[in-house]
Amino acid sequence: MVEPTDRSSTAGQRLGAPESFGVSTLEPGLRPPTQPPGKLVSIRVQMLDDTQEVFQISQRSPGKVLFDLVCAHLNLTEGDYFGLEYQDQRKMTFFPPDHTQLMEELTRYLFALQIKHDLACGRLICNDTSAALMVSHIIQSEIGDFDDTQSWQHLLHNKYLPDQDAIRDKITDCHRKHVGQTPAESDYQLLEIARRLEMYGIRLHPAKDREGIKLNLAVAHTGVLVFQGYTKINAFNWSKIRKLSFKRKRFLIKLRADPNSHHDTLEFAMASRDCCKIFWKICVEYHAFFRLFEEPKPKPKPILFTRGSSFRFSGRTQKQIIDYVKDSELKKVPFERLSSLLLGSSNNRNRSPSSGDSPLGSPHVVVNGNGPVNDQVMGSPSVLGPGQSPERQQLSPLTSPLLTEAGYVRNDDEDEARRKKFPTDKAYFIAKELLTTERTYLKDLQVITESFQSIVGKDEAFPDPVKNLISANYDPVYKFHQGFLKEVEQRLAQWEGRSNAHIKGDYQRIGDVLLKNIQGLRQLTIHLQKHSECLVELERACRTSRKVETLCREFEQQRVCYLPFNIFLLRPLHRLLHYKLILERLCKHYPPTHDDFRDCRAALADISEMVLQLQGTMMKMENFQKLLELKKDLTGIDGLVIPGREFIRLGCLSKLSGKGLQQRMFFLFSDSLIYTSRGMTPSNQFKVHGQLPLYGMTIRESEEEWGVPHSFTLFGQRQSVVVAASCAAEMERWVEDIRLAIDLAEQSSSPDTDLLSSSLSENKLSEDGGAEQEMEDELCSSRSSLERQGHRGNTTVHVCWHRNTSVSMVDFSVAVENQLSGNLLRKFKNSNGWQKLWVVFTNFSLFFYKSHQDDYPLASLPLLGYSVTVPSESENIHKDYVFKLHFKSHVYYFRSESEYTFERWMEVIRSATCSASRSLPSTRKDLY
């Protein structure tokens, strides 16, 4: 809101087009304050939270300069939703249909203030139940948890509704249910209720129809709306509108041809030509902002004469804002809610004014800590997570010297000298890979045998049979690999000449060590076969006991458990594949006459037999484990983990609806396809909106039909859905996998499998703007038990969401085989020195440690969406064996110690950054 120094201007008017203050035209009779050319103008701007700031700009400056100054003052990144206007009205330029797409907590807070203002002035019309519920969330945000005396006094002295006294008891009853809810969560709930109301974001423009009946026109993200009083009587979606125009004071809507309609042009009379033109311009802005992918190009100026308006929408579209915020390195700047600070409620002692959800930033390195992942770049300040107060916040490891430029150890000469002492034979580096990955594997086993068992051993609720089963079948494996690792370390020390033992014999080989220990490992086959039973029994215990489930979820939040716990349970089976691949490389490298060839070939035969024996169990457990992980990431779904169901692909697609293209997370199984949206809950789960059974489904590319790039239509027996992929390659992957899934569903004997819980009707209503009462019942419950589980927010699902990509079960299976550990030197794009780190590649991510002895990683970098290349000459990286990771503007350089390790890192990272083809390695061909 803008208050000119000369207050003679008409109040309550929206400021003008891009050349003035904002993005629309001036209302009749309104002119900006005039000043002599070139002089500074002082303009007082009143914010939505009622604070005021004075800005000085040149009188010749365009209005965008003032608006940009305001956004910069607020640290507001998603400012395109907002606008400035003259005194007595507060205005959002655009009301987002889905507030979960807003990345910034500050943006959501400002929208919450707008809703609060609209309620107070009577503009947001709704029933008493909705009004009471919204006010209760506003009060929770301002004064904290319910206190009988304080809450009652607060309502007496603050006006949130024109007729507030009549429903005061309803407001306090709702407020009682919000105990523990943070201000950020209150904003979320407020916007969730408001966005489903018929008058949400509606600004009425008086008009008359052909018969002279008084009506009101409005525009929303869906299209043009017609109201009689406050009742919506008609709606014209953008997809049905061919053209919008005005002639003098007549507003014209031309519709696409419809055999069921007699009129293709609708006409409304407005108060004046200016009113008509203003409404037309707002419609043009709304259509461009919500429907277009990119800002429209300006209309070329005519040479001789003009015809019609040259007005075009100026600014970023909603999609461009979402992509910009998601992909940028902007710091999340903390802010304070003024009302909470002024009140100083004792209930707010443990509540942070700036607490809120920090989404995983697409290209950013993330901290492996408690709760959802902080959105940070290496070396940037830490951000508070949901419910965290400044007192409880731990210093981010990324701000320590370890992972910042200030902490670089410039030991290039020392490292080069040490490297020259090592053997250069490829077999040595293959053996060293065995050593480095064995160190990581032993640390992973410790997560089960030491960290997890120490927790469950103290808890009486954890069932003894499951506890004993895990201990009996993992402890012997861990003890065996302790001895194995010690033998490998001794052999590598001898190979490198760091021991006098090399004088007595030739120790530049590894086959004898592998053969001896793989023969020993065969004696543990009975335990390896039991590991699948451990996974099943642990899941059964979690399903039957809430305490056990809570215990396991809390353990997953510990930093030592840097991956989902079930993945650790499958590590011994996966390690067999690694031994097999290492031995295959050794046998390929050695000539048959080499002394080490015979032992390597014998060890390869033994391990291949073990892999073949356990292969069926391994693939079943991988699918089972993936279903269990998805169960934690989804809410609103029942019976996901059932025999016979196979996971195929997950990832982002844009779903076309009346609201335009909206980002949705899709999950493809062998019998159905479900689509979800990302929730803003403490657990960051994805909320299911709908299910498409695959039995009888057909698929057709439909880019020409809908004019949306990379789109295709899914025709089900009950409904059809139009979706669009981010690129042609993504569309090809989805279409291929969906066709595969349809074939699998046709072979199934149960075509009507229903994954979704009874809450699907509510979810579907929320997707399509359904009945109000169901929405209120759903929101009154505040948070479900699933939402209270603190599931970590950096899973593959969340990375796919923020990188707008997808991953298949084939990719997961390839990732199982492509794991690597070792020391790397790392450098940022704009730094000089190289920093030595222990790096582990697994689960599509790089995990960074100070050394291999650390118990947990200090930071991680999800690689989905990144590219791996070698630096160009212009980058001035004059070192050997350097590879480059980059995603848009984010660049990291890594140095390896040899040509072999360089090629291995490139190979495994490419497996994470490039989607796997359908042709699988021989051990994985039976995946489907």
Q: Does residue 373 sit within a domain?
A: no
What CATH number corresponds to the domain at position 742? 2.30.29.30
Are 628 and 724 in a shared domain?
no
pTM: 0.61
Q: Does residue 411 sit within a domain?
A: no
Are 527 and 601 in a shared domain?
yes
Pairing state between β 686-693 and 634-635: parallel
Q: What is the pLDDT of residues 683-707, one digit of tens each?
A: 678 999 888 999 889 999 888 778 7
The pLDDT assigned to 2 comes to 42
pLDDT at 14 over 80: no
The pLDDT assigned to 419 comes to 54
pLDDT band at 64 (very low <50, low <70, confident <90, very high): confident
pLDDT band at 291 (very low <50, low <70, confident <90, very high): confident
**CA–CA gap between residue 21 and residue 64 (Å, rounded):** 6
**CA–CA gap between residue 312 and residue 786 (Å, rounded):** 46
Q: Does residue 702 sit within a domain?
A: yes
Report residue 852 as tokens.
């291999």
Instruction: Pick 21 or 314 by higher pLDDT.
Output: 314
The pLDDT assigned to 499 comes to 58
Instruction: Pick 638 or 329 by higher pLDDT.
Output: 638
Are 147 and 172 in a shared domain?
yes
The pLDDT assigned to 412 comes to 52
Q: What is the pLDDT of residues 537-566, one digit of tens each?
A: 999 999 999 999 999 999 998 999 999 999
Instruction: Pick 590 or 298 by higher pLDDT.
Output: 590
The pLDDT assigned to 9 comes to 31
pLDDT at 731 over 70: yes
- Residue 887: exposed, middle, or buried by beta-carbon count in 10 A (0-12, 13-18, 19+)? buried
Where helices occur in 294-347 by DSSP H, the ranges are 318-327, 338-343
Q: What is the pLDDT of residues 461-501, one digit of tens each?
A: 899 999 999 999 999 999 999 999 999 999 999 998 765 54
**CA–CA gap between residue 218 and residue 209 (Å, rounded):** 14
Q: What is the pLDDT of residues 454-463, one digit of tens each?
A: 999 888 889 9
In this prediction, residues 173-182 reach a mean pLDDT of 90
In this prediction, residues 625-632 reach a mean pLDDT of 92
Q: What is the pLDDT of residues 710-724, one digit of tens each?
A: 999 999 888 889 999
Range of the domain at 661: 639-748
pLDDT band at 658 (very low <50, low <70, confident <90, very high): confident
**CA–CA gap between residue 588 and residue 582 (Å, rounded):** 10
pLDDT at 567 over 60: yes
Are 142 and 210 in a shared domain?
no
Report residue 13 as tokens.
């008017």
The pLDDT assigned to 680 comes to 63
Per residue, what are the HEC states of 491-510? HHHHHCCCCHHHHCCCCCCC
What CATH number corresponds to the domain at position 501? 1.20.900.10
pLDDT band at 819 (very low <50, low <70, confident <90, very high): very high
Q: Does residue 777 sit within a domain?
A: no
Are 455 and 575 in a shared domain?
yes
Name the least confident of 41-55, 619-633, 811-825: 41-55
Q: How far is CA 265 from the centre of its chain?
A: 43
pLDDT at 406 over 70: no
Report residue 569 as tokens.
């349970």
Amino acid letter, residue 321 = I
In this prediction, residues 342-351 reach a mean pLDDT of 39
Which residue bears the tokens 């042609």?
Answer: 728
Are 476 and 599 in a shared domain?
yes
Give the residue from 575, 602, 633 where a domain finishes: 633
The pLDDT assigned to 418 comes to 53
| Number of domain units in the chain | 6
Report residue 168 as tokens.
């005061």
Q: What is the pLDDT of residues 243-258, one digit of tens each?
A: 888 988 999 999 887 7
The pLDDT assigned to 520 comes to 94
Q: Does residue 786 sit within a domain?
A: no
- Residue 320: exposed, middle, or buried by beta-carbon count in 10 A (0-12, 13-18, 19+)? middle
Are 479 and 621 in a shared domain?
yes
The pLDDT assigned to 899 comes to 93
Instruction: Pick 783 or 247 by higher pLDDT.
Output: 247
Give the residue from 195, 220, 235 where a domain finishes: 195
Q: What is the pLDDT of residues 832-859, one digit of tens each?
A: 789 999 999 999 999 999 999 999 999 9
Q: What is the pLDDT of residues 138-154, one digit of tens each?
A: 999 999 998 888 888 88
| pLDDT > 70 in the chain, percent | 74
**CA–CA gap between residue 866 and residue 743 (Å, rounded):** 32
Q: What is the mean pLDDT of the chain?
A: 77
The pLDDT assigned to 22 comes to 31
Q: What is the pLDDT of residues 745-757, one digit of tens each?
A: 887 755 444 554 4
| pLDDT > 90 in the chain, percent | 38
Are 536 and 466 in a shared domain?
yes
The pLDDT assigned to 517 comes to 95
- Residue among 859, 696, 674 at smallest CA distance from 767: 674
Inter-residue contact 885 to 894 (CB < 8 Å):
yes
Q: What is the pLDDT of residues 91-119, one digit of tens each?
A: 577 888 888 778 788 888 888 888 998 99
Are 628 and 657 in a shared domain?
no
Which residue bears the tokens 């018969």?
Answer: 211
Are 527 and 619 in a shared domain?
yes
What CATH number corresponds to the domain at position 143? 1.20.80.10
Q: Does residue 764 sit within a domain?
A: no
**CA–CA gap between residue 72 and residue 299 (Å, rounded):** 30
The pLDDT assigned to 287 comes to 87
pLDDT band at 638 (very low <50, low <70, confident <90, very high): confident
Are 673 and 556 in a shared domain?
no
The pLDDT assigned to 794 comes to 65
The pLDDT assigned to 769 comes to 36
Give the residue from 720, 748, 776 where a domain finishes: 748
In this prediction, residues 9-33 reach a mean pLDDT of 33
Q: Does residue 414 sit within a domain?
A: no
Q: Does residue 604 sit within a domain?
A: yes
In this prediction, residues 592-607 reach a mean pLDDT of 94
Q: Phi then psi for 446, rounded to 5 degrees?
A: -65, -30
Are 106 and 224 in a shared domain?
no
